[in-house]
Structure 1
């Protein structure tokens, strides 16, 4: 519901009739020019590699930009490099190389992951030392050997179990 209300408020704020998009003359969004469909048909600007042409120009038209746009309609060889860059920056915020460049965000993710992992290891060690009781005597190796010897002496499961694999005459495993 909030998404619908926000969309409705934005569309009312822009006040661009639907028919103006289909007309031959370009519509204005505020004081920016509507130049394409964009990625969702709404008058917004987003740098995205999958939709390289945003719906509106990045910057509003200023007198300097208007002069350059008129000059742009002529021969492009008469434009200087600075004028071409100014025209590009008026239409786009960043170049493809700029908005696809790595941001280094992975370093923070790895750092937080390692911090949380080390914190959880400290919690585990604290629990092991102060919360959990000691291991029972039956888990010590000498007690396990004694328990195994007792199971063999009692001939536990002599058909296909532990006692069936013990040679009682030679006192070793078969």
Structure 2
């Protein structure tokens, strides 16, 4: 009796120790993933990850982590914007965003890869079908030769095959020619 009680308390102690070892909150996991970047909004799906999107141009976090130069610019940003130079404004923009709208809308050369892959796939398909035609499939039977086909046509006309709507209906038997 005493040993079973001891085993039970020992088992409960181990289980509770396992359950309380390392609990991370969702915020801890998020901060681990994004580093020191500032969360500035909800984002397009609620998860703090940076995405350049034309349909939702407000990412939930800033693009870069803050450094001393950016911190000084951010302090200067709180004042009059006319005192900021163009380069400083661009640097502040690049701190928050990776691309401008013009860069996001600019055409890329991704279509060339797709067209090239399709052409390669077509070439491989044609090569396989031609190798089957020359190496796997047998030659055409003798009945496909022109001399035999004309003999078969003459025989069908002589037998008056399908005289209502078929071949014999289009042959004039009195004059021996096509109607």
TM-score (norm 1): 0.80
Q: Which residue of 1 aligns with 2:52?
A: 47
Question: In the alignment, which residue of structure 2 is the partner of 1:89?
Answer: 94
Alpha-carbon distance, 1:143 to partner:
1.6
Match of 1:18 in 2: none
Task: Determine if the alignment matches structure 1 residue 103 to structure 2 residue 108.
Answer: yes
- Structure 2 residue 176 is the aligned partner of structure 1 residue 171: yes
Indicate the SS of the match to 2:61. coil
Match of 2:127 among 105, 113, 122: 122
**Comparing 104-113 and 49-58, the one that deviates more:** 104-113
**Distance (Å, rounded) in 2 between the aligned partners of 1:107 and 1:63:** 42
In 2: Cα distance, 1:9 partner to 1:102 partner: 41
The alpha-carbon deviation at position 140 of structure 1 amounts to 1.9
Q: Describe the shift of the 1:88–1:148 C-alpha distance in structure 2 as closer, same or farther (beyond 3 A).
A: same
Number of aligned positions between the proteins: 155
Residue 159 of structure 1, CA deviation: 2.5
Alpha-carbon spacing, 1:13–1:102, altered in 2? closer, same or farther (3 Å): same
Match of 2:84 in 1: 79
Structure 2: gaps of 5 or more residues: 1-23
Aligned equivalents of 2:28, 2:145: Cα separation in 1:
76
SS at match of 2:89: helix
CA pair 77-134 structure 1, distance change in 2 beyond 3 A = same
Q: Shift of the alpha carbon at 1:12? A: 4.4
Distance 1:61 1:118 in 2: 52
Considering fraction of residues, name the structure with more helix.
2
How much has 1:14 moved relative to structure 2? 2.1
Question: Which structure 1 residue ranges, 5 or more long, are not aligned?
Answer: 1-7, 16-28
TM-score by length of 2: 0.78
Q: Show the 5 A alignment for 1:21-36.
A: 30-36=35-41
RMSD: 2.2
Quick check: which has more Rg, 1 or 2? 2
* Corresponding position of 1:58: 63
Deviation >6 Å, runs of 4+: none
